[in-house]
Chains A and B, each alone.
Chain A
């Protein structure tokens, strides 16, 4: 009885050994295994399109005017760089230079000027976010339809004159007409709001600017 049981054990061990041997033999034969387990699927290759983005817009002001409250209206020169985030939004960094005229106090009192010539030079920069809220087309006579945008814009920045820096908020609206895909004409009207103390007391001023610019996309 006992020998019979042992014989069964031996047979079982032999079988297991043989099994493991044949398995290792199979494992060495990679090709066979690959044929058995690799799924019948073709891998799809994907490639990124080699395509140029034109999301930046560089604007130069052809003509601009800045009215500084109580210091008259003067020519504004400058430009801006915009990044188009989506078809609805873009952000813009702008820089401009202008100068101040004589204030009404200086003109009427006839006294010594409040500011020197150097102090009348004004420079400003700002960073704004804009929303193209009325995209559309502008029709010029019979044959021409130009893509256009009406946008609302607002942001923060800095205005510098009279040896001082003034923290400036700006809000405004503008219209952009695209002559080509890469060329546009822009008219932009902004209110630059800051507080100054040139007349002795803190005074919040609204300073309007209007600028016509030409911009290229790249």
Chain B
């Protein structure tokens, strides 16, 4: 009985010790020669698989067949990535696609752990450049807009915006520069305030009467809210007031509602 217990303890101890040996120096890794396959692209990165096994699919999608399995300690070369998949080459020159979530235990040849980054909420809170698309209601007309934003500090960013609106009586194009202030960027629903200026080019529809295009300077004020969606995307809703300084007798006010999303780059 005592002998059995001692053997069990020893086995446990041995297992614990094996865990401490990095995969790059393990017995399994030493079995495989790290001779790269012949048709390997020149700039690919070599890693060693540290999980028990790694499935390789025939295509970058969950429905594709698993037609190869890479074992613990086997070398692997990372070729490229598409969405959440990485194309890899095995030591025998076979290529396949590995899911990034299953590539959580790969190590460089010097033993450093390698991670393949996936876009997440950090991109939303840390990236400084963003590209936005929005659909809006511009005083009854449909509008489609794009924006390019650059964040200077946690709260403050600048934006260049362009929109095309198509209405029943007139079409217009708006171009603006704006300053966006987000007082509580860490909130789940983060509000922001907007102040800007730009030009509105309005062309009344020719079917009504023959008129000329008007170009007016516009002052822009707005409030909105953003919320993180997933990956690199954030949802954004906004209401803005365009105050047009026209050459006619009265200035004109237009209220615009917008719903869109931002992509963080």
Chain A residues within 8 Å of B, Cβ to Cβ: 44-55, 83-87, 127, 132, 135-137, 145, 147, 156-158, 163-167, 181, 197, 217
Contacts and interface: CB of A to CB of B under 8 A. Distances in A.
A52 B80 contact: yes
Contact of B164 (A54, A87, A158, A181): A158
B247 interface: no
Interface of B: 45, 47, 58-64, 78-87, 106, 108, 112-117, 133, 135, 142, 144, 164, 166, 171, 205-207, 231-233, 263
Nearest to A132: B61
Contacts of A54: 80-82
A86 B78 contact: no
A132 B82 CA distance: 14
A147 B59 contact: yes
Contacts, number: 98
Given A87-B61, A127-B144, A156-B135, A51 B116 contact: yes
Nearest to A136: B63
A167 B80 CA distance: 39
Given A51-B79, A53-B81, A181-B80, 6 more contacts: A46-B113, A47-B108, A47-B114, A54-B82, A84-B82, A147-B61
24 contacts: A46-B113, A46-B114, A47-B112, A50-B45, A51-B45, A51-B81, A52-B80, A54-B80, A85-B231, A85-B232, A87-B60, A87-B62, A136-B63, A137-B64, A147-B58, A147-B59, A156-B135, A158-B164, A158-B166, A164-B171, A165-B164, A167-B166, A181-B82, A197-B207
Given A87-B62, A127-B144, A166 B114 contact: no
B118 to A, nearest CB: 10
A187 B142 CA distance: 29
Contacts of B142: 156, 167
Given A54-B80, A147-B59, A158-B144, A48 B166 contact: no
A164 B205 CA distance: 7
Nearest to A162: B206
Contacts of B117: 48-49
A48 B114 contact: yes
Given A84-B82, A135-B61, A181-B87, A44 B207 contact: no
A14 to B, nearest CB: 49
